[in-house]
Structure 1
Amino acid sequence: MQITVVGGGKVGFTLASQLEKEGHDIAIIDNRLKIIEKCDDQLDVLCIHGNGANVNTLKEGNIEEADMMIAVTGSDEVNLICCMLAKKLGVKNTIARVRNPEYVNSIELLKDELGLSMSINPE
């Protein structure tokens, strides 16, 4: 399965590492160069330095061929935008990390309107 992970911090790195071990093809996108360099050094994944909420960056990471997008940046809003764009570009399953309790009451509407498959809160 081809999976794009946006956000290479602690959660994103752990996800990418585990998914890679399971034999999936992973692309990881992050706008922090040091994070991308760490991922490139330690993982056998496609590493893209850029904004995951940018269509051109997503396309550079082959989003149009991805089966799944998992957005786990530190920003709920960026995660939602990443998933919305991925859905518009043809990705079947999108998962957004949403931590802000203010969104809890509207998460079902967000899922329906943005085409989210799932929202997660690792905390």
Structure 2
Amino acid sequence: MKIIIVGCGKVGATLAEQLNNEHHDIMLIDKNADVINSITERIDVMGVVGNGAVYKVQMEAGIQ
């Protein structure tokens, strides 16, 4: 299943890790590039830097 998670705080990062362990296709959106880079280096997920409430950022993340 393809899942987009907006916000990579403690909850978002934990959720991404758990869903990745269940072999889901995860895309993260967060305003902080350092946070995105840190998570994508640890687990096999993709990330987009930007405001998750902005339609253009959502489209870049692959929302249909």
Tell me if TM exceeds 0.5: yes
Aligned-residue offset at 1:34: 1.3
Which ranges of 4 or more aligned residues in structure 1 deviate by more than 2 Å?
none
Q: What's the secondary structure of 2:13's corresponding residue?
A: helix
Determine which structure has more spread, i.e. the larger CA radius of gyration: 1
Unaligned regions of 5+ residues in structure 1, if any? 65-123
TM-score normalised according to structure 1 size: 0.51
Q: Distance in 1 between matches of 2:39 and 2:27?
A: 10
Q: Which residue of 2 is the match for residue 107 of structure 1?
A: none
- Give per-residue Cα distances to partners, 1:6-53, cap 9 Å, x unaligned: 001110000000000001000000001111111111111111111100
Q: Which residue of 2 is the match for residue 53 of structure 1?
A: 53
Q: Which residue of 1 is the match for residue 29 of structure 2?
A: 29
Alignment length (residue pairs): 64
Identity percentage of aligned residues: 44
Q: Which residue of 2 is the match for residue 77 of structure 1?
A: none
Instruction: Give the alignment's Cα RMSD to 1 decimal.
Output: 0.7
Q: Distance in 2 between matches of 1:56 and 1:41?
A: 25
Q: Distance in 2 between matches of 1:2 and 1:60?
A: 14
TM-score normalised according to structure 2 size: 0.95
